[in-house]
Amino acid sequence: MRHASGKTQLATFAGGCFWCMVKPFDELPGILSLVSGYTGGHTEDPTYEEVGTETTGHYEAVQIRFEPDVFPYTRLLDIYWRLIDPTDAEGQFMDRGASYRSAIFVHNEAQREQAEASKRNLQLSGRFKGKIVTPILPAGPFYPAEDVHQNYYNTHRYDYNRYYEGSGRASFFKRHWDRKQDKEELRRRLTALQYAVTQEGLDEPAYDNPYWNNTSRGIYVDVVNGDPLFNSTDQYDARTGLPAFVKPLHEGYISKKGDLRDGKVRTALYGRLSGSYLGHLYHDGPPPGGLHYQINSAALRFVPEGEMVREGYGEFAGLLSRNREIYWRMSEHE
């Protein structure tokens, strides 16, 4: 888990229906709270019905309290752009009207500068043919929405999933953020094996990979986007010929999905923000947790202890304890 300085900030984003703006940020490292609500208008304490009349001037939005030392504002912006159609000034996807417009509401000058730079870079990238019209506006009063709208993706899962798919968000993301040229760029950056593992779900050969018996101190990061995933002191010998860990650095960087390949029922692990296939989760690990994160070496990049500060991972140095020796001694006597 990443250490925080105690500093917190607010980030406020409008991106159409606020039901769809919570899940992508929820439970990420450094995210302390997420509130769906209304902002940008001229009335006080508006209701959902009032905002829906398009007479209040309010946007549906989500307000995030976060620790910038743990999860920087620039990374929140990266996630935000992938959730919206930034070329649409009249709403988002199937939701039309002023309350469904996109906007970034900034809380200080640093946020404004970072948001402006992020918007310019997106325009220059050529990812979208049209002009990026999402405005960057000063944050004002924010009014939390009614309880039924909070954490909607968890409290109304069936309705949320049906709405999300029907809205067109998923297909829009695939067209603009999972393009053929994106895959080609990734092929150039990764080795053939790294690409096959992370993008095509291949599991590499046992005992024929660089990290299965690595005894150096450091951390393992996602080979695609550099997210910190595992600590070497949480690694142990599971006698599978693949790297094994008792826990990740933070669960928020990993997503889990059911895997029925090869006629087995397993839990597959992916990098939550990179989408990279990592490996599998089993329940045959050492006590007290009993968890076994079996990860492909090709999905990881090892950052040695001596390089952690230079590469921006210095905050994890204090986690390099002697647990690794304990786990390895335990596995030797099984």
Catalytic entry in 17, 62, 132, 145: 17
The residue assigned the tokens 């990290």 is 211
Q: Angle, to 10 degrees, between the axis of helix 180-189 and the axis of helix 192-200? A: 140
At residue 107, the 3 state secondary structure works out as: coil
Cα 180 from chain centre = 22
C-alpha triplet 129, 273, 68: angle, nearest 5°: 100
C-alpha triplet 29, 250, 330: angle, nearest 5°: 165
At residue 121, the 3 state secondary structure works out as: helix
Q: Give the Cα separation of 298 and 242 in Å (integer).
A: 10
Amino acid residing at 143 = Y
Q: Give the Cα separation of 36 and 22 in Å (integer).
A: 8
Give the bridge partners for 136, in sequence order: 104
Neighbours of 312 (CB within 10 A): 11
Backbone angles phi, psi at 133, to 5 degrees: -110, -5
Q: Does 17 qualify as catalytic in the annotation? A: yes
Cα four-point dihedral sign 246, 251, 254, 255: positive
Catalytic residue numbers read 17
